[in-house]
Chains A and B, each alone.
Chain A
Amino acid sequence: MLSANFPVLGIVALLMTAYLLPLVAMRRMRLGQGLAGLILALSAVYSALLFYDVLDSGPVYYAMGGWEAPWGIELAITPLSAFVMTVATGLTALVALSLPQELVDWSKRKAGWYITLLLLLTAALLGITMANDLFNLYVFTEVSTLAACALVSAKKDRNATDAAFKYLMLGAIGSGFILFAIGITYVITGHLNMGFAAAVFAASDLHPIIPWVMSAFYLVGFGVKAGLFPLHVWLPDAHSSAPTTASALLSGVVVKVFAVAMARVFFGLFGSAALETMGIAGMVRLMAAASILAGSAFAVVQTDIKRLLAYSTVAQVGYIFLGFGVGGVVGVAAALYHVLAHGLMKSILFLTAGKVIAINGTREISGFEGMGPKLPLPMGAFSLAALSMIGLPLLAGFATKWYLFNAGLSAQIYWLPVLIIISGLLNAAYFLPIVWKIWFGVSEAEATDRRVPGLLVLVAVLAVIGLVPGAVLDLLEQAAGWLIS
C-alpha cells in the first residue's frame, strides 16, 4: 500500500520544480537539465507505482484537502488513468533525454523556461488524467494548452509564432466549448463530480435534445484539442514548427490525453448504451474514419517531413477515436493499446527525423536520401517505426489494426475492415518511399553526432508490445472495463 497522500504528490512535485528549475538552470545549465530529467523519471516511477497499486488493490479516490466529494475536488486513479499517466510520463521522461542536444545553443535563460513549460505540461497532463471533477479537468486542460502553445513558439522562427497563435485561438475556442458543456452538465445535474453527475443524469427525464447538445459541445471541445478531423487545422502547423522534443511530445502524448479525457467524460456521463442510441458513438466513428482517410491523404502530398508526421498524427488519432467509437471492451482496449503504440512510434519518428534535419539543415524529405549507412541506429529505428505505422505483422501497429478489425466485426460494423485496409495502403504510400530513400539513396552529407538518447528503450518497448500484444491487452481490458462500467 502507498501512503494516503501519494496520488497528489506527482502533480505537486512537478509544479514546484517547474518554477524552481529556471533559477538552477540560469546558474548551472547541466544541473538544471539533470534535475528536470530526474524529476520526470521520478514522475514516471510514481505513475508506474500507482498503476501497479490500482491493478493490485482497486482504484484510489483522493479527496483534495480532505474535502470529500461531491463538495471537494476528487482525483480518481482507476486502472485507465494510471495506464495513461504511466504512458505519458514514461514517454516524456524518455524524450527529455534528448533535451541537452536540443538546448545546446540556447541561452541559459530561455533553456530554463523551456524546461519549465515541459514540466508544467506534464503536470497538467497528469491532472487531466486524474481529475474526476469537471471544472478541474477544464483548468488542467487550459494549463496544458497554454504550456503547449508556448512550447510551439519557443523557436525564433516566425512560422512557429504564427502556428502557436493559431493553436492558441483554436484551443481557446475548444476550451470555450468544453466550459459551456460543463456549464450545461452543472445546470442539469447540480454536480461537477463525474460520478455524482452521472447518477443524477441517468435518473433525470430530459428532453432528448439536451444531452445531445451537451455531448456535441464536449465533442467539438475535445475534438479540437485532440486534432480530430475536421477540427485538426491547427495541428500540422503547430506540431511541425515546434522544437524536436516538443513535437515528439505534442504528437506522441498530448493529443492522446485529450482523446482519453473525452472518452472518460462520454462513457462516464452517458454510458455506452446511451452513446449508441443517441448516435454520438456513430458520429465519433464517422469523424474518426474521416480523420484516418483525410490525415493520410494529406500526408501523402507533403514534402516536409515534420508536416508529414503531423498529418500522420491526425490519422493515428483517428484510430484511437475509432476504438472508443466502436466501444465494447475490445474496442476501448484497442484504442488504449494504440495510445501506447502510437506514442512510442511518433516519438521515435520525430526524434530520429530531428537528427536528419539537424544534419541537412532542411525539413525536405529528400534529406533522408542515403541516411541509412550514415546513421544506422536512428534510421533503423525510424524504419521500424514507419513499418509499424503501416501495420506489418509482428509490429505494434498491426496489433492495433487487428484488434480494431475484431472489435468492428463483433460490433457488426462491416465498413471498418475496409477502412483499415485502405488506411494501411495509404500509410505505405507515404512511409515506404522514405524508407527506400534511407537505405538505397546516396548522400554526401557527414553525420557527426549519431546519438539519440533513450532511443533503444523506445524501440525495445515498441518491439515487445508488438511481439506479445496479448499480454498488454489483458491489462488494458481491465482498464477498459473500468471505463465502460
Chain B
Amino acid sequence: MAVKLLQNYPYLISTLIFAVGCYTVLTHTNLMRKVIGINVMESAVFLFFIAAGNVQAGRPPIIDLNNPDVIYVNPLPSALILTGIVVSISVTALALAFVVKIHRQYGTIDADEIAAIRSQQDA
C-alpha cells in the first residue's frame, strides 16, 4: 500500500497541494490570499490530470507510421487542462475585480474587518 503510494507520488502530492489550497481559501482573512488559495487548489487538480496523462518513457503523441509500436503520452488530459487554465484565469480575473471593488467600497480587503463593518451598519 505505502509502496504504491510512493510510486504514484504525483497523485499524493497533488492531493496534498489541493488540501493546502483549500485550507488557504477557508482560513485566511486576507482576500488576496483567498484568491491565491483558489489558484493553488486549481493547479493541484491540473497536476493530477497531467500526471494521469503521463506515460513513462512515452514520446510526444505524433503518429509515426514507420514504427507503430512506439509508446505515446496521453494528450487528452493536457488538452483538457488548457481549457481548465482558461477557466481558472477567468475565475481569478473576476475575483480580483471583486477585490478591487471591495477595497473601493469598504477601504479594506480583510474579511474580518469587512464583517465588522457590515455588522455595524446592520445595528
Contact = CB atoms under 8 A, between A and B. Distances in A.
Contacts of B45: 176, 179-180, 183
Interface in A143-191: 146, 149-150, 153, 158-159, 161-162, 164-165, 168-169, 172-173, 175-176, 179-180, 183, 186-187
A61 interface: no
Q: Is the interface of A mostly helix, strand, loop or mixed?
A: helix
A183 B38 contact: no
A139 interface: yes
A173 B19 CA distance: 11
Contacts of B94: 146, 149-150, 168
A146 B95 CA distance: 10
A146 B118 contact: no
A102 interface: no
Interface in B34-82: 34-35, 38, 41-42, 45, 48-49, 52, 77, 80
A142 interface: yes
A176 B87 contact: no
B105 A158 contact: yes
Contacts of A138: 87
Contacts of A19: none
A135 interface: yes
A175 B45 CA distance: 10
Given A168-B94, A168-B95, A173 B25 contact: yes
Contacts of A139: 83, 87
Contacts of A135: 80, 83
B98 to A, nearest CB: 4
B20 interface: no
A146 B77 contact: no
Interface residues on A, range: 20 to 34
A85 B18 CA distance: 34
Contacts of A149: 94, 98
B16 interface: no
A168 B39 CA distance: 13
Given A146-B90, A146-B91, A168-B91, A161 B52 contact: no
A140 B42 CA distance: 17
Interface of B: 18, 21-22, 25-26, 31, 34-35, 38, 41-42, 45, 48-49, 52, 77, 80, 83-84, 87, 90-91, 94-95, 98-99, 101-102, 105-106, 114, 118
A142 B87 contact: yes
Contacts of B77: 186
Contacts of A168: 91, 94-95, 98
Contacts of A175: 87, 91
B10 to A, nearest CB: 11
Contacts of B35: 169
Given A135-B80, A176-B41, A183-B45, A169 B105 contact: no
Nearest to A184: B48
Contacts of A164: 98
30 contacts: A135-B83, A138-B87, A146-B91, A150-B94, A158-B102, A158-B106, A162-B102, A162-B106, A162-B114, A162-B118, A165-B99, A168-B91, A168-B94, A169-B38, A172-B25, A172-B38, A173-B25, A173-B38, A175-B87, A176-B18, A176-B21, A176-B45, A179-B42, A180-B45, A180-B48, A183-B45, A183-B48, A183-B49, A186-B49, A186-B52
B15 to A, nearest CB: 8
A179 B98 contact: no
Nearest to B117: A158
Q: Closest 10 CB pairs between A and B?
A: A158-B105, A165-B98, A176-B41, A172-B38, A142-B87, A187-B52, A179-B45, A161-B101, A183-B48, A180-B45
Contacts of A169: 25, 34-35, 38, 95
A159 B98 contact: no
Interface string A66-81: 0000000000000000
Nearest to B11: A187
A149 B101 CA distance: 14
A169 B83 CA distance: 20
A33 B69 CA distance: 60
Interface in A191-218: 192
B41 to A, nearest CB: 5
Nearest to A145: B91
A97 B119 CA distance: 35
Contacts of B118: 159, 162
A173 B83 contact: no
B33 to A, nearest CB: 11
Contacts of A146: 90-91, 94
Contact of A142 (B21, B48, B49, B90): B90
Contacts of B83: 135, 139
Nearest to A156: B105
Contacts of B34: 169
Contacts of B18: 176, 180
Tell which of A139, A149, A179, A192 has the most Cβ of chain B within 10 Å. Answer: A179
B39 to A, nearest CB: 9
